[in-house]
Structure 1
Amino acid sequence: MKKLLLMISVLVLTGCLGMPNYVEPVKDFELDRYLGKWYEIARLDHSFERGLTQVTAEYSLKPDGGVKVINRGYSAAKQQWKEAEGKAYFVNGENEAYLKVSFFGPFYGAYVVFGLDQQNYQYAFISGPDTDYLWLLARTPTVSPEVIQQFVDMAKAKGFDTDSLIYVEQKPTEVKQ
């Protein structure tokens, strides 16, 4: 757990609130519809999630108007769940899906929703401060091949290395939560 928090801290310490070229946050964003549990479908590899399966992110409203973030994943190598709690706040206003997120103190990194099923809020394409950070999140543990293809095509067009995507195993293990 300490290692996970340290690695997340490294990200936010070296991260910034910028975003990759060609990435634009979703407009007309509705936080209330975004809150709740999301499953990680795909990601680019980074140290603070390396080796984790069954990764989820859960978002809830904080009393100060910010967003509480709980990231959770299972490490088969250690036979244990890892969890990190963070906080997020809008950068330019609540109607734009551009937030700053922190898992350690006053240091923040960018969280940019650049693709979203705005009709039903069933999947989201997320970027960090640069093209090293990319996620596909969904309300269900799996998505259609069409959603994955849309994600890959859009991310590739924006400069992400989609050949390096990791598709996250979401099936249950024998370990109880």
Structure 2
Amino acid sequence: MGDFNMARYLGRWYEAERYFALFEFAGKCVSANYSAADDGRFLIVNRQTSSLTGIRSTIEGEVRLVGRSDESKLSVKFPSLPVSLAAPYWVLDTDYENYSVVWSCSNFGLFSTRNAWILTRARTPTLPVMERAYAAVDRNGISRAFFIRTDQKNCPAHY
């Protein structure tokens, strides 16, 4: 995505759909909140509730711009994880107010991982918002077949 504006991207996003990821296994009420730190860094707080146990979890990380400041290529790092890797986080398309389509791909020698997310500003997005997100998914050649809808029902208000 060209002309990306990180300042407009800040704030709360709710996960509408995702590719399967082990770190989100059985996660519901998934949200991400992006903010700017006083020292110029960008921070992320991810929250989710386990649909198996009901336990709520939070993880805090740092977001860095990769390349030019107007490019939507970011990297996300969660220092509290046992292996602190910076994962690619590319915003393929967003209108900043309703939806965002994100892609991540990492190669680890013999295997690789591919992740995709559709994020929305509303916990329960409207059909027109999802249609715009799906159009962005299609334009970028991402398969819709692997998306799993995220359960956003009966979630804590602050999530």
Fold match by TM threshold 0.5: yes
TM-score by length of 2: 0.82
Give the count of matched residue pairs: 150
For 2:24, the equivalent position in structure 1 comes to 49
For 1:167, the equivalent position in structure 2 comes to 149
Which one has a larger percent helix, Structure 1 or Structure 2? 1
Instruction: State the percentage of identical aligned residues.
Output: 28
Paired with 1:67 and 1:164, the residues of 2 have a C-alpha distance of 29
Paired with 2:139 and 2:114, the residues of 1 have a C-alpha distance of 14
For 2:56, the equivalent position in structure 1 comes to 81
For 1:22, the equivalent position in structure 2 comes to none
Question: Tell me, what secondary structure is at the counterpart of 2:129?
Answer: helix
Counterparts of 1:81-160 in structure 2, within 5 Å, are 81-104=56-79, 107-117=85-95, 121-129=97-105, 132-160=114-142
* TM superposition shift of 1:106: 5.6
* TM superposition shift of 1:138: 1.0
**Which stretches in structure 2 are left out of the alignment for 5+ residues?**
107-112
Structure 2 vs 1, CA of residues 170 and 94 (structure 1 numbering), >3 Å: closer, same or farther? same
TM-score by length of 1: 0.75
Structure 2 vs 1, CA of residues 108 and 173 (structure 1 numbering), >3 Å: closer, same or farther? closer
* TM superposition shift of 1:173: 4.6
Q: Deviations over 1:50-79 (max 9, x none)?
A: 101110000011233221111100102122
Paired with 1:150 and 1:132, the residues of 2 have a C-alpha distance of 22
Counterparts of 1:9-88 in structure 2, within 5 Å, are 26-88=1-63
Question: Tell me, what secondary structure is at the counterpart of 2:22?
Answer: coil
Paired with 2:142 and 2:88, the residues of 1 have a C-alpha distance of 16
Question: Tell me, what secondary structure is at the counterpart of 1:48?
Answer: helix
Which one has a larger percent strand, Structure 1 or Structure 2? 2
Mapped contact 2:92–2:140 kept (Cα < 8 A): no
Structure 2 vs 1, CA of residues 35 and 172 (structure 1 numbering), >3 Å: closer, same or farther? same
* TM superposition shift of 1:159: 3.7
Question: Tell me, what secondary structure is at the counterpart of 1:154?
Answer: helix
Structure 2 vs 1, CA of residues 167 and 94 (structure 1 numbering), >3 Å: closer, same or farther? same
Paired with 2:67 and 2:155, the residues of 1 have a C-alpha distance of 40
Question: Tell me, what secondary structure is at the counterpart of 1:77?
Answer: coil
